[in-house]
Amino acid sequence: MAGRARIPSVEHVRPRPEGVAVTSTSTSPPGGAPTAATVPAVAAVEVTKVYGSGDAAVHALRGISVGFAKGAFTAIMGPSGSGKSTLMHCLAGLDTVSGGRIVLGDAEITGMSDRQLTMLRRDRVGFVFQAFNLLPTLTAEQNILLPMELAGRKVDRFWFNQVVDVVGLGDRLRHRPSELSGGQQQRVACARALVARPDVIFADEPTGNLDSRSGAEVLSFLRSSVREMGQTIVMVTHDPVAASYADRVVFLRDGQIVSEIVQPTPDTVLDRLKSLGA
């Protein structure tokens, strides 16, 4: 299947009720205004990323065009070093691109100042990392609310309760991270990302440090935040089972998108990884 498509296009992708496929290069329908169905939550257009220069240059991204639909859960897979984290960091405004453009919602983030990027990340982007990154002296509730408080934003208690409910942490809110299991800690990190209602949550190997049961809990929660709250999630993973929770999987190799699957299962993901030689 490796020869199927170097850059995925809309023809391969069936529309889905909770988020529609987007073209890789266009963000608006021909002759019409952009609609919620066609404007991706975040998109890369012909993005390149080079680390270093001269003989030492590493071409981490080699012309990536991809859109991530609103209200959809997308997984990014590929061998170690294929550029997954680099792509995610560029999409999230954590790293700058060498060429091409990143568009987050209605904002072109390429060329933004550091200050603008900091505000954009604070207000519109959520992160979940492999290491849970919770503050040990704060309770679960305080950890969840900290970014909102630092940003001086008012906490919507109704929304907070709904998030806590979906995450299933109601009886754990007064516990500190050391009193929680790994899965519970990661669910706190997910709730922290979700409570700010970001446009996109980026998750880099969110289940990498978890056993399979806790990993399944976190993945189910991420999926319900997409289904029930309309959250948009982009997740990097090495695990075909984790990827099967997503609506769509895109595959990277050597800094390029080489394939994609819609409505993945662990078997179809594994087969595709094998056929791509990953």
Among 24, 38, 65, 82, binds ligand ATP (CB under 6 A): 82
Query: From residue 189 to residue 218, what is the string marking binding to Mg ion with x (rule CB under 5 A)?
Result: ------------------------------
User: What CA–CA distance (Å, rounded) separates 203 from 184?
Assistant: 16
The answer to whether the beta carbons of residues 74 and 135 sit under 8 Å apart is: no
> Between residues 191 and 243, which has the closer beta carbon with respect to ligand ATP?
243
CA dist 144 → 54, 118, 189 (Å): 44, 19, 7
User: What CA–CA distance (Å, rounded) separates 51 from 142?
Assistant: 38
By CB under 6 A, is residue 85 in contact with ligand ATP?
yes
User: What CA–CA distance (Å, rounded) separates 233 from 30?
Assistant: 27
Q: CB of 239: closest distance to ligand ATP in angstroms? A: 11
The answer to whether the beta carbons of residues 78 and 62 sit under 8 Å apart is: no
By CB under 6 A, is residue 2 in contact with ligand ATP?
no
Q: CB of 129: closest distance to Mg ion in angstroms? A: 10
Among 24, 74, 86, 232, binds ligand ATP (CB under 6 A): 86
Closest CA to 16 of 226, 243, 184: 226
> Between residues 52 and 230, which has the closer beta carbon with respect to ligand ATP?
52
Q: Report the site for Mg ion in 56-95 (rule: CB under 5 A).
A: 85
DSSP-based three-state secondary structure for 124: helix
Q: CB of 81: closest distance to Mg ion in angstroms? A: 8
The answer to whether the beta carbons of residues 100 and 45 sit under 8 Å apart is: yes
Closest CA to 232 of 73, 24, 42, 91: 73
Q: CB of 52: closest distance to ligand ATP in angstroms? A: 6
Q: CB of 224: closest distance to ligand ATP in angstroms? A: 26
| Chain residues that interact with Mg ion, rule: CB under 5 A | 85
Residues engaged in binding ligand ATP (CB under 6 A): 51-52, 58, 60, 78, 80-86
